[in-house]
């Protein structure tokens, strides 16, 4: 059974590792190619865009894909919308595997905003020391708020023209523990954290550190997503879903010896 995993997340990596063990499934992991040196996946993979909805639809047909799991990041809205449309057109079942969003806990001080531009505006007019953890893309919003001093943490270097004027760039790949996050925020005398509401355990430590240090958080909420038929937040039900579609009568299976006349 050919399964396409749309990846670039820890969820996709976990699913790829689990499917690598299953002989009855032939998975392909698809990465956008944003990260310069992604960890080598344990299953066959491809890198780069498909060419919009039409490109993805034709890929699904050409490769005889029988199920798609969209395990992309909750903020990767375009590929998720493309997957919904392409799977409809190619008549391929689609499931979404994502992490639940974070919710504020007692002691958290969050200002929730819908976009990065709104996050930049929410920082206010007075100069503040901002820990920016929203990634290296779409930084231009913060160039509109040059009064602040930024500590920007990203995996790969941002394009120079996107970086706000007063900005220290820290290149680092998680996971980060809470003690380290607190030490970093103290060292840079951070006043406010800006984060996407990505969800998941690994990224949560910066939010926990902000709470421990009594720092406010500007939280960029997720873009609204196209409805997906089946949505999961844990690995086991995704594996069961794949199994169920492999067993479905519409899926072509190699005939067993007993079926040969």
- List residues binding ligand NAP (CB under 6 A): 6-9, 30-32, 34, 49-52, 55-56, 72-73, 75-79, 82, 135, 196
Which among 235, 226, 260 has a CA at the least distance from the CA of 74?
A: 226
DSSP 8-state symbol, 24: T
Let me know: does 215 contact 192? Beta carbons within 8 Å.
yes
CA angle 105, 109, 112 (to 5 degrees): 95
Which among 167, 138, 163, 152 has a CA at the least distance from the CA of 77?
A: 138
Smallest gap from Cβ 189 to ligand NAP, in A, equals 27
Smallest gap from Cβ 44 to ligand NAP, in A, equals 14
Rounded distance between C-alpha atoms, residue 254 and residue 258, angstroms: 11
Which among 210, 204, 219 has a CA at the least distance from the CA of 191?
A: 210
Conformational region of residue 230, where left means phi above 0, alpha means psi within -120 to 50, and beta covers everything else: beta
Q: Which is nearer to ligand NAP, 30 or 66 (CB)?
A: 30
Q: Which is nearer to ligand NAP, 93 or 203 (CB)?
A: 203
Let me know: does 2 contact 28? Beta carbons within 8 Å.
yes
Q: Which is nearer to ligand NAP, 8 or 93 (CB)?
A: 8
Rounded distance between C-alpha atoms, residue 150 and residue 3, angstroms: 42
Q: Which is nearer to ligand NAP, 54 or 179 (CB)?
A: 54
Question: Structure tokens of 66?
Answer: 């029988």
B/e letters for 109-138, b = 16+ CB within 10 Å, e = fewer, are ebeebeebbebbebbeeeebebbbbbbbee
Q: Which is nearer to ligand NAP, 66 or 133 (CB)?
A: 133
Smallest gap from Cβ 258 to ligand NAP, in A, equals 40
Smallest gap from Cβ 107 to ligand NAP, in A, equals 26
Smallest gap from Cβ 47 to ligand NAP, in A, equals 8
Smallest gap from Cβ 68 to ligand NAP, in A, equals 11
H or E stretch covering 192:
strand 192-196
Q: Which is nearer to ligand NAP, 32 or 242 (CB)?
A: 32
Smallest gap from Cβ 14 to ligand NAP, in A, equals 13
Q: Which is nearer to ligand NAP, 56 or 242 (CB)?
A: 56
Q: Is 70 helix (H, G, I), strand (E, B) or coil?
A: strand
């Amino acid at each position: 059974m050919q399964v396409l995993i749309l990846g670039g997340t820890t969820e996709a990596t976990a699913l790829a590792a689990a499917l690598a063990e299953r002989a009855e499934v032939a998975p392909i992991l698809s990465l956008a190619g944003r990260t310069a040196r992604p960890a080598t996946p344990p299953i066959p993979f491809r890198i780069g865009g498909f060419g919009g909805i039409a490109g993805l639809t034709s890929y699904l047909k050409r490769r005889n894909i029988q199920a798609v799991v969209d395990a992309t990041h909750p903020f990767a809205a375009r590929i998720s919308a493309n997957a919904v449309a392409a799977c409809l057109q190619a008549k391929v079942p689609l499931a979404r595997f994502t992490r639940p969003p974070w919710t504020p806990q007692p002691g958290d001080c969050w200002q929730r905003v819908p976009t990065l531009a709104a996050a930049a505006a929410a920082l206010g007019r007075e100069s503040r020391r901002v820990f920016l953890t929203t990634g290296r893309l779409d930084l231009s919003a913060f160039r509109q708020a040059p009064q602040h001093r930024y500590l920007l943490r990203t995996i790969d270097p941002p394009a120079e023209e996107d970086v706000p004027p007063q900005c220290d760039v820290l290149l680092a790949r998680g996971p980060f523990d809470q003690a380290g996050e607190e030490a970093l925020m103290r060292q840079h005398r951070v006043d406010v954290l800006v984060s996407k509401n990505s969800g998941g355990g690994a990224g949560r430590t910066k939010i926990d550190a902000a709470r421990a240090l009594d720092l406010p958080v500007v939280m960029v909420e997720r873009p609204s997503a196209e409805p997906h038929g089946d949505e999961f937040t844990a690995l086991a039900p995704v594996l069961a879903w794949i199994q169920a579609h492999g067993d479905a009568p519409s899926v072509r299976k190699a005939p067993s010896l007993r079926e040969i006349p």
